[in-house]
């Protein structure tokens, strides 16, 4: 669909770390990184109010954005590097060489700022003259997970806000020592063997590997809010519907994931298909840094994510107690999560065999506090993350307007988004 608005590119450039500040370096991909080798990049959008003329942005703000990005890349240099698989290496590597850079595109749009930064469903589409600024960041998930990428973005924001002062960033630098997890190398080798078996990627095809960068054009994006009172009500209702033979782990994230999962299934398949025994899955990520032995620091650069795979028959989930059952299963899986046990049982080929339409993935986390990202223009009006697979993910973040509430970002077909919005808004009121 053609939009009646324009997007004018003002500048395209390359931003490198300061000359000579980073020696040539290579980082081998780990077991954790290789999980994401075929997934699309992650796109994050930060919308800020900015009531100044374009000339002020070009003359004052843009030079600071460029300089602060360069200074930040000195310490987060893999983002400026390239993914390569040298012939002599058993695994792909992140390689940084002098002169490597990240592309920066500066654009101007006459699209209404409030329309793009709202919660309503709209077409998935960077200054908005005298209205606002949107900073969009695309990061290959093979390079890092959400915790690392937010560490980078907040570090960049602090240097920009302080106009080149790196003191806040250097107090929390990324940690690059991967020797601690070298014991997982056999698992990484196993992954590569499976990728070759299923013709996902090999050493010969790695340099030509292509992934889709954007969701299909028939999608709309919307944000929903699970308010604190709704979360409390859900927890109380779930507890009342389940036999409490053992304590149930019911965090805000657990009940939110359960509620959204069931609402999505009802929107996609209808609310009356109670005979369908198809198995549905939801994948909930868990930061594994603190669960390793020895543990990794929170500033570890790269991917370090475990996950729980919760499965249940569709007929059960869309039934009368589906939300409560989903919450019980998700809570139990998280509470009992054992990273080492998961390593022993992990079967990548099993996950690859799950039909795409029967698996949801949770992305990001309210704990990342993305609304604290201040480049010098105050906190963002809106933060969005495009689901990593273009439509089968649930992006979670904290809510900027209500402590304890959770924002849910979705990209779906309009034929699915409209019924989901109705079910999401009304189902809580029906709980009794």
Active site residues: 141, 374
Q: Extract the tokens encoding 72.
A: 């930040």
Residue 30's alpha-carbon distances to 175, 274, 343, in angstroms, are 14, 43, 14
Cβ neighbours for 265, distance < 8 A, ≥ 6 positions apart: 280, 314, 317, 318, 322
Of 382, 374, 378, residue with least CA distance to 120: 382
Q: Is residue 126 a contact partner of residue 53, using CB atoms and an 8 Å limit?
A: no
Locate all alpha helices (DSSP H) within 300-413, ordered by sequence: 314-317, 322-335, 339-345, 348-353
Concatenating the DSSP letter of every residue in 183-246 gives GGHHHHHHHHHHHHHTTS--TTTGGG-----S--TTEEEEEEEE-HHHHHHHHHHHHHHS--SS
Helix (H, G, I), strand (E, B) or coil at 304: coil
In whole angstroms, give the CA distance from residue 300 to residue 297.
6
Helix (H, G, I), strand (E, B) or coil at 135: strand
Q: Give the other-Cβ count within 10 Å of 261's Cβ.
A: 26
Handedness of CA 46, 50, 56, 60 (dihedral sign): negative
Q: Order of strands across the sheet with 359-363?
A: 122-123, 219-226, 406-413, 393-398, 359-363, 279-287, 305-313
Phi/psi at 115 (5° precision): -70, -40
Locate all alpha helices (DSSP H) within 242-338, ordered by sequence: 252-269, 314-317, 322-335
Q: Is residue 74 a contact partner of residue 173, using CB atoms and an 8 Å limit?
A: no
Residue 365's alpha-carbon distances to 182, 244, 253, 426, in angstroms, are 27, 28, 9, 25
User: Strand 93-96 relative to strand 82-84: parallel, antiparallel, unpaired?
Assistant: antiparallel
Residue 292's alpha-carbon distances to 146, 174, 340, in angstroms, are 18, 18, 8
Q: Is residue 408 a contact partner of residue 119, using CB atoms and an 8 Å limit?
A: no
Q: Is residue 310 a contact partner of residue 262, using CB atoms and an 8 Å limit?
A: no
Place of tokens 């697979």: 389
């Amino acid at each position: 669909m053609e939009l009646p608005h324009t997007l004018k590119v003002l500048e395209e450039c390359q931003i490198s770390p300061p000359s000579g500040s980073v020696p040539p370096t290579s980082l081998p991909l780990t077991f954790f990184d290789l999980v994401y080798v075929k997934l699309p990049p992650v796109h994050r959008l930060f919308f800020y109010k900015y009531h100044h003329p374009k000339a002020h942005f070009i003359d004052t703000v843009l030079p600071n954005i460029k300089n602060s990005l360069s200074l930040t890349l000195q310490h987060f240099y893999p983002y400026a590097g390239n993914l390569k698989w040298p012939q002599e290496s058993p695994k792909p590597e992140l390689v940084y060489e002098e002169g490597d850079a990240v592309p920066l595109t500066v654009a101007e749009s006459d699209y209404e700022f409030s329309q793009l930064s709202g919660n309503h469903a709209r077409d998935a589409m960077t200054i908005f003259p005298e209205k606002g600024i949107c900073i969009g960041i695309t990061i290959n998930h093979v390079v890092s997970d959400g915790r690392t990428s937010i560490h980078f973005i907040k570090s960049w924001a602090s240097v920009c806000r302080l106009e080149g002062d790196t003191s806040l960033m250097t107090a929390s630098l990324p940690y690059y020592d991967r020797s601690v997890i070298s014991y997982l190398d056999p698992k990484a080798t196993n992954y590569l063997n499976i990728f070759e078996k299923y013709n996902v990627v090999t050493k010969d095809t790695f340099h030509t590997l292509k992934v889709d960068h954007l969701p299909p054009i028939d999608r709309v994006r919307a944000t929903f809010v699970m308010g604190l009172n709704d979360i409390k009500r859900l927890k109380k209702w779930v507890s009342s519907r389940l036999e409490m033979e053992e304590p149930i782990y019911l965090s805000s994230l657990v009940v939110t994931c359960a509620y959204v999962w069931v609402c999505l299934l009802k929107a996609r398949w209808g609310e009356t298909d109670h005979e369908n025994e198809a198995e549905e899955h939801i994948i909930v990520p868990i930061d594994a840094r603190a669960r390793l032995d020895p543990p990794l620091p929170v500033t570890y650069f790269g991917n370090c994510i475990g996950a729980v795979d919760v499965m249940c028959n569709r007929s059960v989930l869309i039934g009368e107690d589906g939300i409560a059952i989903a919450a019980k299963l998700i809570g139990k899986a998280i509470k009992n999560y054992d990273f080492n046990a998961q390593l022993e049982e992990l079967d990548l080929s099993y996950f690859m065999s799950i039909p795409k339409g029967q698996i949801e993935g949770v992305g990001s986390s309210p704990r990342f506090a993305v609304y604290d990202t201040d480049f010098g223009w105050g906190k963002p009006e809106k933060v969005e993350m495009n689901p990593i697979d273009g439509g089968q993910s649930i992006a979670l973040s904290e809510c900027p307007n209500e402590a304890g509430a959770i924002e849910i970002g979705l990209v779906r077909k309009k034929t699915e988004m409209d019924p989901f919005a109705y079910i999401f808004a009304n189902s809580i009121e029906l709980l009794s």
